[in-house]
Chain A
């Protein structure tokens, strides 16, 4: 397997505090990794650092993506290299229509026809995220990611705030980003992902290769995702 992402000794500040304290992580091509960890352990900051958001300032270490050092690259350059992120709480953008962003993000001119499959057909003319419910935000994010069709997915709690009726749709759409379902059997694409989950519900829809537990700004444990999840459910994070 080829190396897709390699993070080496990453230190980063957010809000004036050091949050990441030496993260080492490698994700191979086509590999799905899940990231567990208590609140405030630095999971979302790690995803922000990989995406390049300025809320997070990298102070040490490096991020290599597809062999290229992207540690100090702009957000848009990372997106164009193939990184796409589903935010947990994306900003409201008044006046900008969801449909316009979806169109701008996609090379596929027919992408807007897909919106109904995400139950977002009626949202294309709405201002992005303004007044969206938790589930609507997730569906909107997944529609945007589908438009982008990234090679590396960063998903920050894809199932949080989603009701039981919608969790199936979210799970299936995440699966579509990772698997080719055109044939009789789902085949894993060459798309890699790093997924933050607290409940593990997303693992009902996709297989995961590795699980990591993050604590105090570092990856502390590595294991099989379902084993780690079982252990966390039984014993917590051992704080």
Chain B
């Protein structure tokens, strides 16, 4: 097929950003890693819980888990209006689902999407039916347990008209699978007047390469919030999610990163303001502790009357790395209101000493300021993210 041929050609196409990775360095991850029936007694429990995926499923509407390239767990029973399946199973029961496959995301975008397409990768299928509000968050977990392998995931998430969902995705490597590659393609489709909060917590090994590819298409009057948190060392990570906004829709991206020594992180996001009255906000807060950090943001105003703001702020706590903030505004019509702010620097000494004058030692003062810097400006951050961030900040010895 000519289409498949063009995707095959894309197997050699580098990603638009970030360091190039040779996918052939990695073996295919197992599609037969077994099932995890009981999350609480699973050997992977601590890895899951470290990225906000709770094993007892308390206050969760359902769980999907992928171990390498295997759908290992899917909650058997969920509330009315919610559907959770592996994508491969969903394709068997939903004839219309194929219309959503590779519709938002171009498989020939780069070698990672191409690989995912050509592998016919499995992933999660989540659908919230029209008018349903899912009470508690749905959680998904992507775990890599095999060293020198690639995890290829293809997710489809559909939030229909008037529906709402909060989703938490935790991704991690089991310790011995440090030198591996995670590729996760997520296509999100939101109808009209729908709401979605999609939070990702990543915790990888210091040699892991990570290439998520996320695209969200919104109808009219919908709201999409994308939270991304990475606090632990990673090899190199590049992510640039894209959202296309319909009339009166809004997108908010919150990205919170710590770049440790040896880590290369290139994150951010892009919002295409395609509908009249659409709104967007891209917020990035990062701390470099000797790692390489690049914070991107791109807002594209395509119709009159749109409003958008972009903010990249970075604190450099240790020398040895680099920090690059790239805020971009692009307007194709006159009547747009688009702004950006970017700031890179160290923590002001007077702030540290002010807290120290209340009896906090320097480490405690720096941690308190960094914790505030990373999370304080973001409203409504899910409790799990806040908890994970606090724990990671605690471990990071920021005041050293």
Contact = CB atoms under 8 A, between A and B. Distances in A.
B392 interface: no
A95 interface: yes
Interface in B319-377: 348-351, 353-362, 364-365, 368-369, 371-377
B372 A75 contact: no
B205 to A, nearest CB: 29
Interface in A123-170: 127, 144, 147-148
Given A76-B359, A79-B358, A80-B359, A93 B369 contact: yes
Contact of A91 (B348, B356, B375): B348
Given A94-B377, A104-B360, A75 B368 contact: no
Given A54-B353, A84-B357, A101-B358, A96 B368 contact: yes
Contacts of A147: 358
Contacts of A94: 372-373, 376-377
Given A74-B362, A104-B364, A127 B349 contact: no
A53 B358 contact: no
A186 B169 CA distance: 60
A51 interface: yes
Contacts of A93: 351, 354-355, 369, 372
Contacts of A54: 349, 353
A95 B353 contact: no
Contacts of A55: 350
B367 to A, nearest CB: 10
Interface string A48-60: 0001111100000
B interface: dominant SS: helix
B217 to A, nearest CB: 33
Contacts of A96: 355, 368-369, 371-372, 376
Contacts of A174: none
A182 B181 CA distance: 67
A95 B355 CA distance: 13
Given A53-B350, A96-B368, A76 B373 contact: no
A85 interface: yes
Contact of A85 (B350, B357, B365, B368): B357
Please indicate which of the listed interface residues B357, B361, B369, B374 has the most CB atoms of chain A within 10 Å of its own CB.
Answer: B357
B361 A76 contact: yes
B354 A91 contact: yes
B194 to A, nearest CB: 30
Interface in A172-196: none
A55 to B, nearest CB: 7
A93 B355 CA distance: 10
B356 A74 contact: yes
Nearest to B374: A95
Contacts of B350: 53, 55, 91
B349 A100 contact: no
B357 A95 contact: no
Contacts of B353: 52-54, 75
A74 B365 CA distance: 13
Contacts of B361: 76
Nearest to A93: B351
Interface string A35-75: 00000000000000001111100000000000000000011
A94 B377 CA distance: 8
Given A51-B357, A95-B371, A148-B359, A127 B376 contact: yes
B170 to A, nearest CB: 24
A90 interface: yes
A105 interface: yes
B356 A95 contact: no
Interface in B290-335: none
A101 B373 contact: no
Nearest to B368: A96
Contact of B356 (A75, A87, A90): A75
Given A94-B376, A95-B372, A96-B368, A105 B359 contact: yes
A76 B360 contact: yes
Contact of B358 (A74, A95, A127, A148): A148
Given A93-B369, A96-B369, A101 B357 contact: no
Contact of B354 (A80, A90, A148): A90
Interface string A88-119: 00110111110011001100000000000000
A35 to B, nearest CB: 19
Interface of A: 51-55, 74-76, 78-80, 84-85, 87, 90-91, 93-97, 100-101, 104-105, 127, 144, 147-148
Given A52-B353, A96-B355, A96-B372, 14 more contacts: A54-B349, A76-B361, A79-B358, A84-B358, A91-B348, A91-B350, A91-B351, A94-B372, A95-B371, A96-B368, A100-B368, A104-B360, A104-B364, A105-B359
Nearest first, the 8 closest Cβ-Cβ pairs linking A and B are A95-B376, A95-B372, A96-B372, A105-B358, A76-B356, A75-B356, A79-B359, A91-B350
17 contacts: A75-B357, A76-B361, A76-B362, A80-B359, A84-B358, A91-B351, A93-B372, A94-B377, A95-B369, A95-B372, A95-B374, A104-B358, A104-B360, A105-B358, A147-B358, A148-B358, A148-B359
